[in-house]
């Protein structure tokens, strides 16, 4: 939802000086629009006073009390004001740590409103976490529903509520409804000023529900309108029809020692339909670990190449890009397809020769990393851009590669399945294909959960598998020792494993800080069998295929998301031998935490694991971003609010079908909002 562009600085508000201005800036609040966009994380119902004797039965209570006694306890810096409060049901004590000024305010015999958390201490009911205000019938922070905002050091809840009220008085009169009038009436939404007032200071929970629903709907509606406009724009972008007989694809399929799964065939058919359509396309191909999605991408590439066009294939790391290039050379090279690999490690002479061949049409399939974005990389006729592990690239990067062609089709791929509720929210401008079926004959990885303290059993089993000729990965959550986190780290454990646990074996260490060329050399040695154990961080989540890798050991498994654990497990079991994953978890892990890890044991379905991971961690943490839409956390959620999202998408679709440019007068306000929001959604899709 667009909440205006009032750039009036917060220091213009009463009570906000230079110090508080800096405090608010830490929360991202610099102007009045920022402030009203800072939504409450929760609400307290203080409309009625609780009896004091219920203080230990509730998490937090609001009470009307009188001051019956006060005294100073402790000495020196530990000197603290202790105040006895009473009502007809009983008495309790307030410990005023760091608040000596209350000695003058809390006068014996006077009545006050108190809201706080109470606990037993030496047989007394006590609170040190409380708000207090002199009793009045129309109190500022009592007798009503109170918003609870996320706070930071030197910022009190009462002060933030006070300046929020100031801001609402200034800004809400200028807020306009951007939604088309027809939609606002259809759903009986309040007007914009009421929505914002009710979100911050609702008079009832009914008002709050109505305001939240309107905010959530408009959040999703704006987002879907942008995505659907992009989709419509692509469909209106005409391209030359490709006409081929599919000979290259037939020849590759005949050379394969296996047949495609039904899921691969279906995905390939969907992609080819895009490629032969009269308009440009963009499709997301989701595939579980080891499902063969890269082969599908290579097969689709052959249709483009047979039509006389070129393909760009982009991967997030040089290791992965190099592996794709080697696989492509082995797969399609014998068909006469000219495959090239571009990286930053090429000499100037090699790079010049490659680029000259590319622009003259001497390269059919160019594979690389971000080197593909360089201005000097120019294609003769780029027909298809393929981006592997698409979530590691931003929207602008995708646009940069597409700009190197005219009417270029786009295929995004991911081996990290995205739950359907998020694909609808985040990728509403894309067509979707899924490969859930795995190749026949591949043995599922056997997964074991092991509690810390039993590592020796795991080490013994790993040694047995290595003595049979296998290899192993050991993965840790940290690169080096941390003062804040008492966790094992890759550097220390590499030395420990090398010297004490596996002294006769060949070990190597890789992580994100190691030079790319060194990392490449280590991975080549591991793939060639010259290294027995590779110690790493989750940099292996997206890695090369090593069919001989049999064991995956993940220590502090509770520190990883389920989807990441599934990706790590997918690094083994690529060959014909039985593979194993050992997930070692903390002794202090709760039953709930162990239950979460058991999800990995019960299924090897990455799509199911992604759904479970999303439900457990929530959308923001699952994505690694703060926002699920344009709103701050706590308002819209693509899982909880999926039905509102679907409704908003359908309404947005009707708008785009009727008014593709959102330029009709009835939609004019919405168009202004969308212009300001396009960058927000780009950042969201880029994972920022």
Domain final residue pick, 143, 174, 190: 143
Place of tokens 């708008």: 655
Give the pLDDT confidence score for residue 688 in this predicted structure: 36
Residue 511 to residue 531: CA distance in whole angstroms: 16
End-to-end CA gap in the chain: 18
Q: 10 Å Cβ neighbour count for 4?
A: 17
Give the pLDDT confidence score for residue 312 in this predicted structure: 97
Listed as ranges, residues in the chain with pLDDT below 50 are 1, 625-630, 682-688
Domain count, the chain: 3
Alpha carbons within 13 A on the beta-carbon side of 603: 15
Examine residue 328 and state whether it is found in any structural domain, yes or no. yes
Shared-domain flag, residues 384 and 482: no
CA 390, chain centre distance (Å): 13
Domain final residue pick, 603, 638, 661: 603
Domain final residue pick, 78, 113, 143: 143
Shared-domain flag, residues 372 and 463: no
The helix or strand, by DSSP H or E, that contains position 252, with its residue range, turns out to be helix 247-255
The answer to whether 211 and 190 have CB atoms below 8 angstroms apart is: yes
Give the pLDDT confidence score for residue 632 in this predicted structure: 52
The answer to whether 381 and 306 have CB atoms below 8 angstroms apart is: no
Examine residue 457 and state whether it is found in any structural domain, yes or no. yes
Place of tokens 């937090």: 60
The 10s digit of each residue's pLDDT in 156-189 is: 888 999 999 999 999 887 788 888 888 999 999 9
In 466-526, the DSSP E strands lie at 471-475, 507-510
Give the pLDDT confidence score for residue 626 in this predicted structure: 36
Give the pLDDT confidence score for residue 229 in this predicted structure: 85
CA distances from 479 to 32, 510, 535 (A): 42, 9, 10
Shared-domain flag, residues 457 and 588: yes
Examine residue 42 and state whether it is found in any structural domain, yes or no. no
Give the pLDDT confidence score for residue 627 in this predicted structure: 36
Residue 564 to residue 584: CA distance in whole angstroms: 15
Q: 174 in helix, strand or coil?
A: helix
Examine residue 398 and state whether it is found in any structural domain, yes or no. yes
Shared-domain flag, residues 493 and 590: yes
Long-range contacts for 169-176 (Cβ within 8 Å, ≥24 apart)?
170/6, 170/8, 170/32, 171/4, 171/6, 171/32, 171/33, 171/36, 172/36, 172/196, 172/197, 174/4, 174/6, 175/3, 175/4, 176/669
User: What b-and-e string marks burial along 186-211, b requiring 16 or more CB atoms within 10 Å of the CB?
Assistant: eeebbebbbbbbbbbbbeeeebbebb
The helix or strand, by DSSP H or E, that contains position 668, with its residue range, turns out to be helix 668-685
Residue 354 to residue 680: CA distance in whole angstroms: 37
Give the pLDDT confidence score for residue 320 in this predicted structure: 85
Give the pLDDT confidence score for residue 630 in this predicted structure: 45
Examine residue 176 and state whether it is found in any structural domain, yes or no. no
Which range marks the domain in which residue 389 is found? 247-278+292-414
Shared-domain flag, residues 450 and 581: yes
Shared-domain flag, residues 460 and 539: yes
Report the predicted TM-score, pTM, of the whole model to 2 decimal places.
0.77
Residue 371 to residue 395: CA distance in whole angstroms: 16
Shared-domain flag, residues 251 and 388: yes
Shared-domain flag, residues 399 and 260: yes
Shared-domain flag, residues 340 and 470: no
Tokens of 142: 């009592």
Shared-domain flag, residues 463 and 403: no
Shared-domain flag, residues 407 and 484: no
The helix or strand, by DSSP H or E, that contains position 62, with its residue range, turns out to be strand 61-73
Examine residue 69 and state whether it is found in any structural domain, yes or no. yes
Examine residue 379 and state whether it is found in any structural domain, yes or no. yes
Residue 539 to residue 516: CA distance in whole angstroms: 12
Examine residue 222 and state whether it is found in any structural domain, yes or no. no
CATH number of the CATH domain containing 524: 3.40.50.300
Q: Note the maximum CA span of the chain.
A: 95
Shared-domain flag, residues 381 and 460: no
Give the pLDDT confidence score for residue 311 in this predicted structure: 98
Handedness of CA 118, 120, 126, 129 (dihedral sign): negative
CATH number of the CATH domain containing 75: 2.40.50.140
């Amino acid at each position: 939802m667009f909440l205006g562009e009032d750039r009036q600085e917060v220091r213009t508000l009463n009570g906000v000086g230079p110090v508080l201005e800096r405090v608010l800036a830490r929360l991202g609040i610099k102007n009045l629009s920022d402030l009203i966009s800072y939504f409450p994380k929760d609400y307290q119902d203080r409309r009625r006073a609780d009896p004091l004797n219920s203080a230990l039965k509730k998490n937090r209570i609001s009470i009307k009390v009188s001051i019956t006694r006060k005294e100073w306890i402790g000495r020196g810096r530990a000197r603290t004001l202790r105040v006895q409060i009473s009502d007809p049901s009983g008495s309790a004590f307030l410990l005023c740590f760091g608040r000596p000024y209350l000695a003058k305010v809390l006068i014996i015999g006077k009545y006050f409103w108190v809201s706080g958390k109470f606990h037993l201490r030496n047989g007394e009911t006590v609170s040190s976490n409380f708000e207090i205000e002199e009793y009045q019938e129309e109190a500022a922070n009592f007798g009503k529903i109170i918003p609870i905002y996320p706070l930071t050091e030197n910022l009190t809840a009462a002060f933030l509520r006070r300046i929020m009220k100031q801001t609402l008085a200034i800004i809400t009169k200028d807020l306009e409804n951007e939604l088309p009038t027809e939609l606002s009436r259809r759903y009986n939404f309040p007007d914009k000023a009421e929505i914002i007032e009710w979100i911050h200071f609702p008079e009832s929970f009914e008002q709050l529900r109505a305001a939240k629903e309107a905010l959530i709907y408009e959040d999703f509606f704006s987002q879907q309108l942008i995505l659907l406009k992009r989709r419509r724009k692509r469909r209106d972008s005409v391209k030359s029809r490709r006409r081929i007989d599919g000979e290259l694809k037939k020849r590759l399929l005949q050379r394969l020692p296996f047949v495609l799964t039904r899921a691969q065939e279906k995905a390939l058919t969907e992609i080819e339909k895009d490629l032969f359509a009269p308009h440009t396309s963009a499709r997301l191909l989701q595939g579980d670990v080891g499902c063969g999605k890269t082969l599908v991408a290579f097969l689709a590439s052959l249709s483009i190449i047979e039509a006389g066009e070129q393909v760009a294939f982009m991967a997030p790391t040089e290791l992965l890009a190099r592996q794709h290039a080697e696989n492509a050379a082995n797969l399609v090279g014998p068909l006469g397809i000219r495959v090239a690999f571009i990286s930053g490690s090429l000499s100037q002479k090699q790079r010049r020769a490659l680029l000259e061949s590319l622009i003259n049409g001497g390269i059919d399939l160019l594979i690389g990393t971000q080197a593909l974005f360089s201005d000097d990389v120019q294609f003769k006729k780029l027909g298809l851009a393929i981006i592997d592990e698409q979530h590691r690239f931003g929207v602008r990067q995708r646009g940069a590669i597409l700009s190197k062609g005219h009417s270029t089709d786009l295929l995004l791929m991911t081996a990290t399945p995205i739950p359907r509720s998020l694909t609808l929210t985040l990728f509403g401008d894309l067509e979707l294909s899924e490969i859930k079926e795995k190749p026949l004959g591949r043995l599922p990885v056997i997964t074991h959960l092991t509690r810390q303290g039993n590592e020796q059993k795991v080490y013994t089993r790993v040694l047995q598998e290595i003595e049979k000729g296998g290899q192993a990965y050991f993965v840790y959550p940290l690169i080096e020792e941390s003062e804040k986190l008492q966790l094992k780290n890759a550097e220390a454990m590499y030395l420990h494993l090398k010297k004490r646990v596996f002294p006769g074996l060949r070990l190597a260490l890789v992580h994100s800080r190691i030079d790319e060329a060194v990392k490449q050399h280590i991975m080549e040695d591991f793939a060639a069998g010259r290294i027995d154990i590779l110690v790493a961080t989750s940099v292996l989540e997206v890695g090369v295929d090593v069919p001989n890798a049999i064991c995956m050991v993940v220590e502090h498994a509770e520190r990883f998301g389920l989807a990441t654990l599934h990706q790590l497990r997918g690094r083994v079991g690529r060959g014909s031998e039985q593979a194993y994953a050992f997930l070692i978890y903390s002794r202090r892990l709760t039953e709930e935490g162990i239950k979460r890890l058991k999800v990995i044991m019960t299924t090897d379905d990455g799509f199911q694991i992604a759904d479970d991971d999303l439900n457990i961690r929530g959308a923001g943490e699952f994505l690694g971003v703060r926002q699920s839409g344009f709103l701050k956390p706590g308002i819209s959620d693509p899982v909880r609010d999926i039905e509102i999202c679907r409704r908003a998408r359908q309404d947005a679709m009707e708008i785009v079908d009727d008014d593709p440019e959102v330029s009709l007068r009835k939609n004019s306000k919405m168009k202004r909002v969308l212009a300001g929001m396009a960058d927000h959604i780009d950042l969201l899709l880029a994972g920022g």
